[in-house]
Chains A and B, each alone.
Chain A
Amino acid sequence: MTQKLRRRDALKLASGALLATPMLGARRARAAGKYSPGATDTEIKIGQTMPYSGNASAYGANGRAHAAYFRMINEQGGINGRKINFISLDDGYSPPKTVELTRQLVERDQVLLLFAPLGTAPNVAIHKYMNQKKVPQLFVATGASQWGDPKHFPWTMGWQPDYHTEGHIYAKHILATIKDPKIAILRQNDDFGLDYYNGMIEGLGKDAGKLVALAATYEVTDATVDSQILQLKNSGANVFFNITTPKFAAQAIKKAAEIDWKPTQYLVNVAASIGAAIRPAGFDNAQGIITANYIKDITDATWATSPDFVAWKAWMAKYNPTANPLESANATAYSSAFTLVHVLRQCGDDLTRENVMRQAASLHDLEAPLLLPGIKLNTSPTDFFPIKSVQLARMEGDHWKLFGDLMTRTAV
């Protein structure tokens, strides 16, 4: 190691001395930028961890779509003349691996920020570290309510609507539409599952204890959830609240149909991907399932002519042709990458980590592509929840059919 260091630094010194004079000239010719590590006159280095392998690998589509979006931006000339260097690493949804890779990205690769690392447990694992290091952990790809805590964690910001609110909305819908509900809950045994669960319990109010017939859990490392579904059926419940990631969602829906259990099903938004969950489970088995959306269902013909959808379609064909076109992650990732590029454009030549957070916390009615009509991104130094609204939708045929009004965080 000693040897490696010495050689490296010696090289650096030598090349630095050689280049010093002409470099000064070049720097001055450009707009004098202010930079944190990871940003230069020509490049912005962005890091990410993503489950490309393992049980949550369905989410890997997000990272590939992000990369494809940045490729498009780079071909169009980059952000204020700077190319994006996007380093997305596979953590297999395993928190210790996330910690290791994040350290690599921040300390060895010196990225400017971490963009949309995926998963609640992986993000929890690096939450403190990122804030100690003062490196933006921006637009994390998880909706746990803890990402909107600028007072204690000013370097972390979510993007999608938070799970707690979503759980709350389902609870209200159950109370309003189902007589004598007896609720069976299946949830992933981690912070992601708990956040939804708590939102639901809070929404059910003081009778929650009576209304919930049974709550079963599974580990993200489990092979199947078959036995849990059997237990839930035997509880005699007439409502099934499915808090899972896509692979397990598909298993649960399929198993419930197999054993002829027909409750009213609620499926959390993060698993409501047609490509990753519904189709594997079988469309017949999924009719009538209710979820909450904030992004346009890309399989719904309603949007076929809207300009953002047309642009997305063209982008998919040109930059992301190998992706599954039914996979909703391609839409979510497109929209969140748009948000990041917008923030970095706003930063201008001041690409410091402080300014990145400042710009991220001053979004005003930003219209990101593919969000449902009426949903706009708003943030402030005290509000780190960019998207606050969802609309309920029901599985009809082969797509989600929206119903009811937009419901926002403040309204519940």
Chain B
Amino acid sequence: MTSCRDISALVSKSLDERLTWAQRLQVRVHLAMCSACRGFERQTRFLSHACKALGKRFEAEAPDERERTDD
């Protein structure tokens, strides 16, 4: 069976690029059995989402809330 370390690398890669058919199957089988890697998958998706949100915040025209909370 493929290790959690290898699966986490594939999960990471899958966020940027479509995996091969064999890799997708490998990931799917592993995730079905491994709650830790399922958690990692959910969390890395969230990280992606959160970083994009952070990028958008830099582009927000209005002074952000940080300035208000700092006062």
Q: Does A associate with B in a complex?
A: no
